[in-house]
Amino acid sequence: MTTSTSISVSAPAPANHVYRVCLIGSGGLGTIASLVLVKSGHAHVTVVLRSKYKYITEHGWDIDSIDHGKIQGWRPHRIVASVADAAVNGSEKVEFDYVVVCTKHLPGRHSVSAMIAPVMTAGRTTVVLIQNGLGIEDEIVTAWPSNTVMSGVSHIGSGVEEPNKVVQVGRDVSKVGVHYGLSSVATCSSSSPNPSEIEGVTKTETDLAKIDKRAKSRAKAEAYVAMYNAGGAHKCELVEDIETARWVKLVWNGTFNTVCALTRSSVGELQRSKGREALLVPMMWEIWRIAAASGHPLPETLVKHEAYRLPDDCAYRPSMMLDLENGRPLELDVILGNPLKVARRLGVETPIMDVVYNLLLVESWKMEQRAH
Amino acid sequence: MTTSTSISVSAPAPANHVYRVCLIGSGGLGTIASLVLVKSGHAHVTVVLRSKYKYITEHGWDIDSIDHGKIQGWRPHRIVASVADAAVNGSEKVEFDYVVVCTKHLPGRHSVSAMIAPVMTAGRTTVVLIQNGLGIEDEIVTAWPSNTVMSGVSHIGSGVEEPNKVVQVGRDVSKVGVHYGLSSVATCSSSSPNPSEIEGVTKTETDLAKIDKRAKSRAKAEAYVAMYNAGGAHKCELVEDIETARWVKLVWNGTFNTVCALTRSSVGELQRSKGREALLVPMMWEIWRIAAASGHPLPETLVKHEAYRLPDDCAYRPSMMLDLENGRPLELDVILGNPLKVARRLGVETPIMDVVYNLLLVESWKMEQRAH
pLDDT band (50, 70, 90) for residue A120: very high
C-beta separation of A185 from A342 below 8 A: yes
**Minimal Cα–Cα distance from A116 to chain B, Å?**
32
Tell me whether residues B278 and A361 touch, CB distance under 8 A. Answer: yes
Q: Which residues of B143-172 are buried (b: 16+ CB within 10 A; e: fewer)?
A: bbeebbbbbbbbebbbbbeeebebebebbb
Facing residue for B361 by CB, picked from A269, A273, A352: A273
Say yes or no: B314 contacts chain A, CB-CB below 8 A.
no
Question: CA of A353: which chain B residue's CA is closest?
Answer: B355
Phi, psi (rounded to 5 degrees) for B176: -130, 160
Question: CA of A283: which chain B residue's CA is closest?
Answer: B355
Beta partners for residue A176, in sequence order = A152, A238
Say yes or no: B365 contacts chain A, CB-CB below 8 A.
yes
Facing residue for B273 by CB, picked from A262, A354, A361: A361
Say yes or no: B262 contacts chain A, CB-CB below 8 A.
yes
B19-31: average pLDDT? 95
Which chain B residues touch A265 with a CB distance below 8 Å? Answer: 362, 366
Measured over the CA atoms of residue A358, residue A359, residue A361 and residue A362, the dihedral's sign is positive
**From CA A204, how far away is CA A223, in angstroms rounded?**
29
pLDDT band (50, 70, 90) for residue B203: low
B326-348: average pLDDT? 96
**A245-367: which CATH architecture?**
Orthogonal Bundle (1.10)
The burial of B220, by beta-carbon neighbours within 10 Å (0-12 exposed, 13-18 middle, 19 or more buried), is given as buried
Could you give the ipTM of this predicted complex? 0.86
Q: What pLDDT does B47 receive?
A: 98
Which chain B residues touch A271 with a CB distance below 8 Å? Answer: none
Facing residue for A362 by CB, picked from B273, B351, B369: B273
**Minimal Cα–Cα distance from B85 to chain A, Å?**
38
CA A365-A367-A368 angle, 5° bins: 65
Kind and range of the H or E run holding B245: helix B242-253
Residue A199 has pLDDT above 90, yes or no: no
**From CA A56, how far away is CA A296, in angstroms rounded?**
42
CB atoms within 10 A of CB B372: 4
**Minimal Cα–Cα distance from A103 to chain B, Å?**
26
Say yes or no: A215 contacts chain B, CB-CB below 8 A.
no
Q: What percent of chain A has pLDDT over 70?
A: 91
Facing residue for B358 by CB, picked from A265, A275, A362: A275
- Cβ contacts below 8 Å, chain A against chain B, sum to 85
Tell me whether residues A265 and B361 touch, CB distance under 8 A. Answer: no
Of B181, B180, B189, B250, nearest to B220 (Cα)? B180
Question: CA of B267: which chain A residue's CA is closest?
Answer: A362
> Which of the residues A276, A312, A359, A367 would you substitute to probe the B interface, choosing the one with the greatest number of B C-beta atoms within 10 Å?
A359
Q: What CATH number is given for B19-240 in this structure?
A: 3.40.50.720
**Minimal Cα–Cα distance from B310 to chain A, Å?**
18
Question: CA of A352: which chain B residue's CA is closest?
Answer: B355
Residue B148 region by backbone torsions, left for phi larger than 0, else alpha for psi between -120 and 50, else beta: beta
Of B333, B332, B326, B338, nearest to B367 (Cα)? B326
Superfamily of domain B245-371: N-(1-d-carboxylethyl)-l-norvaline Dehydrogenase; domain 2 (1.10.1040.10)
**Minimal Cα–Cα distance from A332 to chain B, Å?**
15
Work out whether strand B92-93 and strand B149-154 pair parallel, antiparallel, or are unpaired: unpaired
**From CA A350, how far away is CA A352, in angstroms rounded?**
6
Beta partners for residue A150, in sequence order = A128, A178
Residue A175 has pLDDT above 90, yes or no: yes
pLDDT tens digits, A200-247? 445 576 888 888 889 999 999 999 999 999 999 999 999 999 999 999
**From CA B77, how far away is CA B89, in angstroms rounded?**
13
**From CA A120, how far away is CA A228, in angstroms rounded?**
21
Which chain B residues touch A359 with a CB distance below 8 Å? Answer: 259, 262-263, 275, 279, 356, 359
**From CA B332, how far away is CA B133, in angstroms rounded?**
9
**How is chain B split into domains, by residue range?**
19-240, 245-371
pLDDT band (50, 70, 90) for residue A187: confident
Q: What pLDDT does A16 receive?
A: 76
Q: What percent of chain B has pLDDT over 90?
A: 83
> Which of the residues A260, A283, A366, A369 would you substitute to probe the B interface, choosing the one with the greatest number of B C-beta atoms within 10 Å?
A366
**Could you write out the three-class secondary structure of chain A?**
CCCCCCCCCCCCCCCCCCEEEEEECCCHHHHHHHHHHHHHCCEEEEEECCCCHHHHHHHCEEEEECCCEEEEEECCCEEECCHHHHHEECCEECCCCEEEECCCCCCCCCCHHHHHHHHCCCCCCEEEEECCCCCCCHHHHHHCCCCCEEEEEECCEEEEECCCEEEEEECCEEEEEEECCCCHHHHCCCCCCCHHHHHHCCCCHHHHHHHHHHHHHHHHHHHHHHHHHHCCCCEEEECCCHHHHHHHHHHHHCCHHHHHHHHCCCHHHHHHCCHHHHHHHHHHHHHHHHHHHCCCCCCCCHHHHHHHCCCCCCCCCCHHHHHHHCCCCCCHHHHHHHHHHHHHHHCCCCHHHHHHHHHHHHHHHHHHHHHC
Q: What pLDDT does B93 receive?
A: 94
Facing residue for B278 by CB, picked from A279, A358, A363: A358
In this structure, the dihedral spanned by the alpha carbons of residues B195, B201, B205 and B211, taken in order and rounded to 10 degrees, is 50
Q: What CATH number is given for A19-208+216-240 in this structure?
A: 3.40.50.720
Question: Which amino acid, B110?
Answer: H
Beta partners for residue B47, in sequence order = B23, B79
In this structure, the dihedral spanned by the alpha carbons of residues A273, A275, A277 and A282, taken in order and rounded to 10 degrees, is 180
Say yes or no: A237 contacts chain B, CB-CB below 8 A.
no
C-beta separation of A160 from A28 below 8 A: yes
pLDDT tens digits, B123-175? 999 999 999 999 999 999 999 999 999 999 999 989 999 999 999 999 999 99
Question: Which long-range contacts (C-beta less than 8 Å, at least 24 apart) are formed by A70-74?
Answer: A71/A35, A74/A35
